[in-house]
Amino acid sequence: MTVAAQDAPRNLLVAPNERGTYQTIGEAMYAAPDGGVLTIADGTYAETFELLDRELTLRAAVGATVVLDGSECDWPVISAQGGSLTLQGIEFRGRVGGVQADSGNLAMDRCTVSAPLGPAIFVRNCANAHIRECTITGASQGIVVDGSSGRIGDTTVENVAGDGIVIGFGADPQVAKCTISGCGERGIYIYQHARPTIESCDVSRTGHAGISVAQQSKPKIMTTAVHDVRGVGIDFGADCAGSVTKCRMENTAAPAIRIADGACPEVTAETTPSATVFGDDLEQLLSDLDNMVGLPNVKAEVRAVVDEIQVNEWRRGAGLAVGSVSHHLIFAGAPGTGKTTVARTYGKLLKKLGVLTSGQFREVSRRDLVGQYVGHTAEKTAVVFEETKGGVLFIDEAYTLSRQIGSGNDYGQEAIDTLVKLMEDHREEVAVIVAGYTGEMIDFLAANPGLASRFSKTIEFDNYTPQDLVLIIGRMVADGDYQLDEATERMLVDYFGSIAESPSYGNAREARRLFEAARKAQSQRLRLLGRMPDSTELRTLLAQDISAAATYLRSAYRGSQPPVA
Residue 169 has pLDDT above 70, yes or no: yes
Query: Residues 200-204: what's their mean pLDDT?
Result: 96
pTM metric for this prediction: 0.54
pLDDT per residue as tens digits for the range 48-78 = 999 999 999 999 999 999 999 999 999 999 9
**Alpha-carbon separation of residue 210 from 31, 151, 207, 228 (angstroms):** 46, 20, 8, 9
Q: Is 286-461 CATH 3.40.50.300?
A: yes
Q: Looking at per-residue confidence, does 322 or 256 come out higher? A: 256
Q: Which pLDDT score is estimated for 190?
A: 96
* 3-state SS class at 252: coil
**Alpha-carbon separation of residue 430 from 322, 338, 378 (angstroms):** 19, 21, 17
Mean pLDDT of the residues in the chain? 86
Q: Which pLDDT score is estimated for 387?
A: 84
Q: Which pLDDT score is estimated for 324?
A: 67
Q: Which pLDDT score is estimated for 406?
A: 38
Q: Which pLDDT score is estimated for 154?
A: 95
What HEC string does 289-349 produce?
Answer: HHCCCCCHHHHHHHHHHHHHHHHHHHHHHCCCCCCCCCCCEEEEECCCCCHHHHHHHHHHH
DSSP 8-class letter at 464: P
Domain boundaries, the chain: 286-461, 466-558
% of the chain at pLDDT higher than 90:
41
pLDDT per residue as tens digits for the range 78-103 = 999 999 999 999 999 999 999 999 99
Distance of alpha carbon 424 from alpha carbon 421, whole angstroms:
5
CB 313 within 8 A of CB 289: no
Distance of alpha carbon 481 from alpha carbon 479, whole angstroms:
5
Of 103-107, 145-149, 411-415, which range is least confident? Answer: 411-415
Q: Which pLDDT score is estimated for 3?
A: 41
| Distance from the first to the final alpha carbon of the chain | 76
Residue 300 has pLDDT above 80, yes or no: yes
Q: Which pLDDT score is estimated for 54?
A: 96
Query: Residues 270-290: what's their mean pLDDT?
Result: 58
Residue 369 has pLDDT above 90, yes or no: no
Q: Which pLDDT score is estimated for 196?
A: 97
Q: Which amino acid is at 342?
A: V
Residue 216 has pLDDT above 70, yes or no: yes
* 3-state SS class at 30: helix
Predicted confidence band of residue 128 (pLDDT cuts 50, 70, 90) = very high
Of 97-101, 135-139, 345-349, 372-376, which range is least confident? Answer: 372-376
Query: Residues 529-552: what's their mean pLDDT?
Result: 85
CB 388 within 8 A of CB 430: yes
Residue 284 has pLDDT above 90, yes or no: no
Query: Residues 430-446: what's their mean pLDDT?
Result: 85
Q: Looking at per-residue confidence, does 309 or 134 come out higher? A: 134
Q: Looking at per-residue confidence, does 23 or 565 come out higher? A: 23
Of 282-296, 460-474, 530-544, 548-562, which range is least confident? Answer: 548-562
Residues 6+ apart with CB under 8 A from 279: 259, 285, 348, 352, 359
Residue 1 has pLDDT above 80, yes or no: no
Query: Residues 496-501: what's their mean pLDDT?
Result: 82
Q: Which pLDDT score is estimated for 558?
A: 58
For 466-558, CATH number out of 1.10.8.60, 3.20.20.70, 3.30.310.10, 2.40.50.140 equals: 1.10.8.60
Q: Looking at per-residue confidence, does 302 or 93 come out higher? A: 93
Query: Residues 336-364: what's their mean pLDDT?
Result: 84
CB 125 within 8 A of CB 100: no
